[in-house]
Amino acid sequence: MNYDTILSTTNNGITTITVNRPNKLNALNKATIGELHSAFKAAGKDKDTKVIIITGSGEKAFVAGADISEFADFDIKNAEKLAAEGQKMLFDYIENLSTPVIAAVNGFALGGGLELAMACHFRVASTNAKMGLPEVSLGVIPGYGGTQRLPQLVGKGRAMEMVMTAGMIDANKALEYGLVNHVTSQEELIALAEKIAGKIMRNSSVAIKGAIKAINANYKDGIDGYNTEIKQFGKCFGTEDFKEGTTAFLEKRKAEFPGK
C-alpha cells in the first residue's frame, strides 16, 4: 500500500513503520494519524509480521508533536472530538494490538509524539532523544492519552512535574525514569530494536498476544487483571503453540511455533 506521510516495509518478520514528514519534524496531522492506523491494522493482520517497529525519518525527530495549525481554531466540541477519535483510531489501537510494537525514538518525541511512543508496548531511544509533554505552554493539556500513560510509566510525581513544567528530559533521564527500556547511539537504534524483536520472535505469538491482554488489563478501570491473566493462561492450553512448546521442551529441542 502506498502512503503519503509514512513508510512501511516488512523484512524477516519485522514491519518497520516510519513517520515520513522530516520537513515538519514528523509532526502528526490528521492524514498521518489515518495512515498510521491503516499501516498498523495491516501489519497486525499480516501473518508474516511478528513484531512492529515505529520510528521517525531523518536524524532530528521521532515525532515532534501534533500539527498545531490543524486545530488552533477549534472550539470545545471539536477539540473533544479530535481527542476521542485520535485516541480510538491510533493510540488505544496500538496499545491493544496483539502484535508487539516497539517505539524506536530517534530525536524529539514531544506532545503527540511522546504519546505515540507511550502507546507502544515499550520504547528504545537514541542518545540524542528528547522527550516531553509541552502542551500546557500552549494553554492546553495532552489529549492523546499522555496524562494517563505517563504516570503509569514514570509515576505520578514525575508525570506531574513533566506536564506542569512543559520541560523536556533527555534519553538518560528517560531511562532512569523507566520511560524507555534501552538507550543507544542513533546509528545503532534500529539494529537494537531489531535485536530485541528477534528475541521476541523466538517465542509463541499466541502466548505473547495473551500476555499483552493480561498486562494491559491491570491499567483499565473496572477490569480484574488477575482474572484476565487466569483466563489467558487457560486459553494457552488449548493452542498448538502450547503443544509445540511443551513437547519441544520435553524433547530438549528448539520449539517451532506454528505462527500468528
| C-alpha to C-alpha distance for 152 and 129, rounded to whole angstroms | 21
Catalytic residue among 35, 95, 115, 194: 115
Residue 70 designated active-site: no
pLDDT at 5: 97
pLDDT digits (tens, 9 = 90+) for 21-30: 999 999 999 9
124-149 burial code (b ≥16 CB/10 A, e <16): bbbebbbbbbbbeeeeeebbbbbbeb
Catalytic residue among 35, 95, 135, 194: 135
Q: Which pairs with CB-CB distance under 8 Å and at least 24 residues apart come from 151-160?
A: 152/219, 153/118, 153/177, 153/178, 153/179, 154/178, 154/179
Residue 135 designated active-site: yes
Tell the burial category of 45 from Cβ atoms under 10 Å away from its Cβ (0-12, 13-18, 19+).
Answer: exposed
Sign of CA dihedral 250, 256, 258, 260: positive
Sign of CA dihedral 116, 92, 86, 54: positive
pTM above 0.85, yes or no: yes
pLDDT digits (tens, 9 = 90+) for 135-182: 999 999 999 999 999 999 999 999 999 999 999 999 999 999 999 999
CB 58 within 8 A of CB 120: no
Other Cβ atoms less than 10 A from the Cβ of 37: the count is 17
- φ, ψ dihedrals at 170, nearest 5°: -90, 180
| C-alpha to C-alpha distance for 108 and 56, rounded to whole angstroms | 9
**pLDDT for residue 228 is more than 90:** yes
Section 110-128 average pLDDT? 98
**pLDDT for residue 259 is more than 90:** no
pLDDT at 221: 84
